[in-house]
Amino acid sequence: MNVLLVLPLVIPLTTAAASLLAWRRLPLQRFLAVAGAAALLAASAALLAGVWTNGIAATQMGGWPAPFGITLVADLFSAVMVVLAGVVGLAVAVYSLASLDEPRESFGYYPLLHVLLMGVCGAFLTGDLFNLYVWFEVMLMASFVLLALGGEPDQLRGAIKYVTLNLVASALFLAAVGILYGLAGTLNLADLAGKLNSLAEPSTVTALAMLFLVAFGIKAAVFPLFFWLPASYHTPPVAVSAVFAGLLTKVGVYALIRVFTLLFVQDVGYTHTLILVLSGLTMVTGVLGAAAQQEFRRILSFHIISQIGYMILGLGLAGLTTSTALATLALAGSVFYITHHIIVKTNLFLVSGVARRLGGSFELKALGGLYRGRPGLAILFLIPALSLAGMPPLSGFFAKLSLVQAGLGAGQYAIVAVALVVGLLTLFSMTKIWAEAFWKPAPADSALDSPPPDLGPRERYTLLLPIGLLAVLTVTIGLAAGPVFTLATRAAEQLVNRDAYVHAVLGGQR
């Protein structure tokens, strides 16, 4: 058994259990939360290093050989996602120390955060569709409670929509899994990859693919199934918003990329064209939705949707080109984009929390003067904001560049044009936040009269340290785009070349 594959699940579980035992001792819970997240990051980095040197790792739980037991698999894509979960987990755990109010902290926030991380890591690592459903539910259950924790009316309103839509998605996912089992007699991803190609009725498989597209599309907030996201993401405390924005929809994107590169590649002309069209519509509706908003976190929420479009753009392109090199480039663009997006988006949400702390509101109208009072924070906002819009030399530029290259290579000029225009509109949204919250003078009645309220020394570190580190990471990815892109390319090669995955799971059986 490969311990590295199990550690990203065991560490959050142990941390959550230990925090539950320390229910009445908040300082200990806080320490455990940060230590557990750091351990998760370390373990995930070790996993990534292991997969990088030794190739795809697979482990059979309980010693049952695949495809009968539950398999955990880590290819480079999974490993990168787990590392990102570790990064977000650590940043948010540290940020929570100063940003969360004590009632929420004392009602199980830290254990829930780690259960959420466990669900996310499990979804990234599993090699079995039903097991994926279970990890989804673990993650959802924790996210439901995190979203509603505190019980403010707006939170409850958001939570009802979030819970309902996610339960519907789960029911659809479950139905799809059941039909797939009836069709192929297995739910092991690697085993399915072989069996789906030899089925008598390819049209049934395509119909199933659509069911999966809807189920994962709701979770990933793809057009037209995104409306639950802007209705709920701005309601919980900032730390919760940040971890949701960073990780949850990306689990849906991960699942989409996994099943549409490994399983449903029979009728790419139909399925992947649809994905491409959806990606364009997702980008456009997301960014237009953001343009209409005047609240910091709601703008950011709509931008999540628009960015999801870019991520599945690479997936659509990869299916529609016959050249392996282009498909690899497109998927590498997607992987790079997800990496960049998770870091940047988490960071922007964290910044919005500090702006709220200083300016007393999330409404852009009530904010202002932050640049004069806090130039350092303004710079920390500007780095992820410009990166999100795709300014060189930040990470977002290279992510968009590879997608655009792949799109031009595949001859999909329309979608490339859409992607570029949406990039410009993103810049418009970010400058709106910049001008309103940071540049314009503070409104007369705001809390920011001058000088702005000071952060305590402890707050300063716990709030600004994660933001600073994530910003450094964004710049690093931009400046060291070469190595990161090599990593993304190798991850994409493993996605395109399905035999390596199948072989790693099933061994020499076929």
**Nearest 5°: CA angle at 374, between 447 and 458?**
85
Contact with other proteins (CB under 8 A) among 17, 28, 137, 206: 137
**CA-to-CA distance for 49 and 141, rounded, in angstroms?**
31
- Under rule CB under 8 A, residue 146 binds other proteins: no
CB of 442 to other proteins, least distance (A): 24
- Under rule CB under 8 A, residue 232 binds other proteins: yes
- Under rule CB under 8 A, residue 107 binds other proteins: no
CB of 151 to other proteins, least distance (A): 6
- Under rule CB under 8 A, residue 10 binds other proteins: no
- 72's enclosing H/E stretch is strand 71-74
- Under rule CB under 8 A, residue 508 binds other proteins: no
Contact with other proteins (CB under 8 A) among 5, 88, 92, 140: 140
Q: Which stretch binds other proteins (CB under 8 A): 49-57, 130-138, 266-274, 499-507?
A: 130-138
- Under rule CB under 8 A, residue 211 binds other proteins: no
- Under rule CB under 8 A, residue 363 binds other proteins: no
Q: Which stretch binds other proteins (CB under 8 A): 156-164, 218-226, 374-382, 461-469?
A: 156-164
Q: Which two tokens stand for residue 325?
A: 């090199």
Q: Which stretch binds other proteins (CB under 8 A): 154-162, 354-362, 390-398, 478-486?
A: 154-162
Cis peptide before 457 (omega within 30 of 0): no
| Residue 234 or 272 with smaller CB distance to other proteins | 234
- Under rule CB under 8 A, residue 231 binds other proteins: yes
- Under rule CB under 8 A, residue 20 binds other proteins: no
- Under rule CB under 8 A, residue 175 binds other proteins: yes
**CA-to-CA distance for 90 and 45, rounded, in angstroms?**
13
Based on the number of CB atoms within 10 Å of its own CB, is 42 exposed (0-12), middle (13-18) or buried (19 or more)?
middle
| Residue 123 or 140 with smaller CB distance to other proteins | 140
**Which DSSP category does 321 fall into?**
-
Cβ-count burial 395-415 (b if 16+ within 10 Å, e if not): bbbbbbbbbbbbbebbebeeb
- Hey, which residues between 298 and 337 contact other proteins (CB under 8 A)? 298
CA 40 from centre of chain? 17
| Residue 63 or 153 with smaller CB distance to other proteins | 153
- Under rule CB under 8 A, residue 379 binds other proteins: no
Based on the number of CB atoms within 10 Å of its own CB, is 53 exposed (0-12), middle (13-18) or buried (19 or more)?
exposed
- Under rule CB under 8 A, residue 210 binds other proteins: no
**CA-to-CA distance for 342 and 354, rounded, in angstroms?**
19
- Hey, which residues between 422 and 481 contact other proteins (CB under 8 A)? none
3-state per-residue secondary structure call for 206-256: HHHHHHHHHHHHHHHCCCCCCCHHHHHCCCCCHHHHHHHHHHHHHHHHHHH
**CA-to-CA distance for 50 and 457, rounded, in angstroms?**
39
CB of 133 to other proteins, least distance (A): 8
From first CA to last CA, the distance across the chain in angstroms is: 22
Contact with other proteins (CB under 8 A) among 158, 252, 333, 390: 158
- Under rule CB under 8 A, residue 134 binds other proteins: yes
**Which DSSP category does 437 fall into?**
I
- Under rule CB under 8 A, residue 151 binds other proteins: yes
| Residue 69 or 409 with smaller CB distance to other proteins | 69
| Residue 174 or 268 with smaller CB distance to other proteins | 174
387 neighbors 395 (Cβ within 8 angstroms): yes
Cβ-count burial 91-119 (b if 16+ within 10 Å, e if not): bbbbbbbbbbeeebbeebbbbbbbbbbbb
Q: Which stretch binds other proteins (CB under 8 A): 227-235, 315-323, 391-399, 482-490?
A: 227-235
Contact with other proteins (CB under 8 A) among 22, 28, 168, 447: 168
**CA-to-CA distance for 442 and 130, rounded, in angstroms?**
53
- Under rule CB under 8 A, residue 160 binds other proteins: yes
Cis peptide before 103 (omega within 30 of 0): no
Q: Which two tokens stand for residue 435?
A: 């001008």
Residues that bind other proteins (CB under 8 A): 130, 133-134, 137, 140-141, 144-145, 148, 151, 153-154, 156-161, 163-164, 167-168, 170-172, 174-175, 177-179, 181-183, 230-232, 234-235, 293, 295, 298
